[in-house]
């Protein structure tokens, strides 16, 4: 069974968001071993300088690297990444499994994104859309798409 880790900067606080996330986490249990790793974003002032943002992203990058599954295929979620269809994501996951890798990591950064070092070490830069979404919603959307991808791979009825 494949290990899928979702590393996110920030926590879900609202009950409805936790419930929504929990539903997809539960559903994914049929297809993979899912781990959601929540990290605390570095606190920044109201109007941070570029230097303060860079420092925060660098510190967050260290936290991310410390928690990542070893020998994993890494997806970094970033707006400049590539957009793919649900079917294409499913094919990508299948290709990863067929290549012998059993660990996949998806990373969602903080409100200022991800440090360039994380993007460079990633195997794939993935974008949901050129639009910007709240991080909490992006997390739910990503979980849903991972579930949809596994459903496609297993000829499930969920995907239409």
Which two structure tokens, joined as six digits, stand for 154? 């297993």
pTM more than 0.75: yes
Q: Which residue has the tokens 């997390």?
A: 139
CATH code of residue 100: 3.40.1280.10
pLDDT digits (tens, 9 = 90+) for 38-93: 999 999 999 999 999 999 999 999 999 999 999 999 999 999 999 999 999 999 99
d(CA 126, CA 69): 18
The answer as to whether 145 is a domain residue is yes
The answer as to whether 160 is a domain residue is no
For residue 141, give its domain range.
Answer: 2-153
Residue 134: predicted pLDDT: 87
Across the range 129-145, mean pLDDT stands at 92
Across the range 85-102, mean pLDDT stands at 95
The answer as to whether 159 is a domain residue is no
The answer as to whether 15 is a domain residue is yes
d(CA 54, CA 62): 13
How many domains, in total, are found in the chain? 1
Q: Which residue has the tokens 């990591």?
A: 105
């Amino acid at each position: 069974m494949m290990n899928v880790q979702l590393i996110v900067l920030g926590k879900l606080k609202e009950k409805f968001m936790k419930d929504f996330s929990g539903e997809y986490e539960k559903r994914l249990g049929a297809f993979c071993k899912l781990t959601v790793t929540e990290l605390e974003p570095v606190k920044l002032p109201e109007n941070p300088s570029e230097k303060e943002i860079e420092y925060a992203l660098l510190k967050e990058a260290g936290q991310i690297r410390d928690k990542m599954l070893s020998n994993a295929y890494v997806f970094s979620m970033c707006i400049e990444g590539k957009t793919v269809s649900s079917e294409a994501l499913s094919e990508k996951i299948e290709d990863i499994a067929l290549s012998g890798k059993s660990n996949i990591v998806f990373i969602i950064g903080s409100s200022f994104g991800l440090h360039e070092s994380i993007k460079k070490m990633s195997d794939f830069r993935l974008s949901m859309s050129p639009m910007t979404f709240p991080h909490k919603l992006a997390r739910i959307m990503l979980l849903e798409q991972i579930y949809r991808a596994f459903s496609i791979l297993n000829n499930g009825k969920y995907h239409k």
